[in-house]
Amino acid sequence: MNALNTIDDTICALATAPGGALGIIRVSGPKAFAIVSSLCSVCCDIVAANTVHYTRIQDGSEIVDECMVSVFRAPHSYTGEDSVEISCHGSHYILNKVLSLLIENGCRQAAPGEFTQRAYLNGKMDLSQAEAVADLIASTNRATHRMAMSQLRGGISSELAVMREKLLKLTSLLELELDFSDHEDLEFADRSELLHLAQQIDSHITRLANTFQTGNALKNGIPVAIVGAPNVGKSTLLNALLGEERAIVSNIQGTTRDAIEDTIQLGGITFRFIDTAGIRHTDDQIESLGIERSKAALQRARIILLMTEPGIPYPVIETRSDQTVIRIENKTPAFQAKYGVGLEALKQQLIAAAPKTSDTDIIITNARHYDALVRAKQSLHRVIEGLEMQMSGDLLSEDLRQVLDILAEITGGQITPHEVLGNIFKHFCVGK
Ligand SMILES: Nc1nc2c(ncn2[C@@H]2O[C@H](COP(=O)(O)OP(=O)(O)OP(=O)(O)O)[C@@H](O)[C@H]2O)c(=O)[nH]1
Ligand SMILES: [Mg+2]
């Protein structure tokens, strides 16, 4: 079903996961009140807005369930339309029966994300907030919950509004310049102010775009590579951290050949551990491939656990400034991966090395937003170059308009193509 149908029909869906004690069915659209009222004793049109009522859902003489009906009158509902939420007992039979009754009486089964899409189309939230709803539902730890909550509360939207203000100021200054372009002596009078403003916006966009790396790491797990010579105990450490026998451990050098990944949560943050093949010179083709993967894991990692054991020097690796290296000498009284000695202290070190975010930080977690920021930056760079090259204002305002349009894509302020909307909302669950 196309999630982009018109919004003059009435949709319904189960909003809760099946199998619980209760199941909530959502109904939204112009006929929501009439349809629900025809199945129970609540006159949705008449009752006070935003009230809850105890009633029975009936199919002719069959009492299907005793339930609670919450009535939300437009525009004070999640979707902005007349909406009803029916809290039933969570039986498959009851929920399917109520859904079929709703459909028989004129509702349409909602597509994934269609309630939130309506909320967006009815101006209850912008596009970045709508996306935050999906992130909030998917959040599994404190960090992702916090980022989704901040985005839902309009964090990104207000950041973009500030940028937009500055861009509009730049546009109006350029237009002013154009207005006076007949006056030879006035033309290009003071472009340094324009340039300064453009550079300010550029660093603002850059700052925001750069948070994506952190946002992505926090969302998918901070990549931690376990690296070292063969046999020092890398796989043993992975297993100890995960609390399960995930990787094969043996006293044979070169046991691990493929990179093994798994995530755990420490201190409300998800870490993605990557156990790798021990780095050494080898003629074994498969082991060589594994070592290549170790090197790739090293590139991706934010944190590197560089492991060794007594008598073996730490391997020499190249690291970047954004990577934290934690050195571990295994098989010593202070650290024994096999017996969990020193593991707690290591976990604390990992938590301390994770990127810090505060409630007020605006962090980009969505690839669509990141992509828009990168494109906006490219257009803005053309404006900056143009200003530096004393290009005429009318050429610059074209690029400037593009920056504004691209940034507006993030919040959906600009008319968003249907395919883009469809793509965003199809990743939602049904009922949201
Ligand atoms: N005594 C002691 N032995 C350990 C410790 N950690 C690992 N070992 C042993 O060291 C050997 C190698 O362990 P692995 O975890 O397979 O080492 P690895 O670094 O993954 O080795 P490769 O995959 O071959 O690179 C095994 O026999 C482990 O039992 C430890 O803390 N103390
Ligand atoms: Mg191993």
- Ligand 2: distance of its center to the CA of 177 in Å? 66
Residues 6+ apart with CB under 8 A from 155: 362
Q: Ligand 1, closest atom to CA 232? A: 19
- Ligand 1: distance of its center to the CA of 137 in Å? 40
Tell me, what's the pLDDT at 416?
67
Ligand nearest to the CA of 279: 1
Structure tokens that stand for 233 in this block: 């105990």
Tell me, what's the pLDDT at 50?
95
- Ligand 1: distance of its center to the CA of 251 in Å? 6
- What does the pLDDT profile of the chain (432 residues) look like in tens digits? 344 445 789 999 999 998 899 999 999 999 999 999 999 999 999 999 999 999 999 999 999 999 999 999 999 999 999 999 999 999 999 999 999 999 999 999 999 999 999 999 999 999 999 999 999 999 988 889 999 999 999 999 999 999 999 999 898 888 877 766 666 555 554 788 889 999 999 999 999 999 998 898 888 899 999 999 999 999 999 999 999 998 999 998 888 888 899 999 998 889 999 998 887 777 888 888 888 888 888 899 999 999 999 999 998 888 999 899 999 999 999 999 999 999 999 999 999 999 887 777 899 999 999 999 999 999 999 999 999 998 888 889 889 999 999 999 999 876 667 777 777 787 778 888
- Ligand 2: distance of its center to the CA of 350 in Å? 20
**Ligand 1 pocket mutation, candidates 236, 255, 276, criterion most atoms within 8 A of CB:** 236
Tell me, what's the pLDDT at 184?
59
Ligand nearest to the CA of 252: 1
Ligand nearest to the CA of 250: 1
109: which strand partners? 12
Ligand nearest to the CA of 282: 1
Tell me, what's the pLDDT at 211?
93
Q: Ligand 1, closest atom to CA 257? A: 23
410: which strand partners? none
Residue nearest to atom 13 of ligand 1 (CA): 233
- Ligand 2: distance of its center to the CA of 274 in Å? 11
Q: Ligand 1, closest atom to CA 236? A: 15
- For ligand 1, residues with CB inside 6 Å are 230-236, 249-251, 253-256, 277-278, 330-331, 336-338
- Ligand 2: distance of its center to the CA of 374 in Å? 39
Distance CA 34, CA 128 (A): 33
Q: Ligand 1, closest atom to CA 277? A: 25
Residue nearest to atom 21 of ligand 1 (CA): 231
Residues 6+ apart with CB under 8 A from 282: 254, 288, 291
Residue nearest to atom 23 of ligand 1 (CA): 256
Please tell me the pTM assigned to this model. Answer: 0.78
- Ligand 2: distance of its center to the CA of 281 in Å? 16
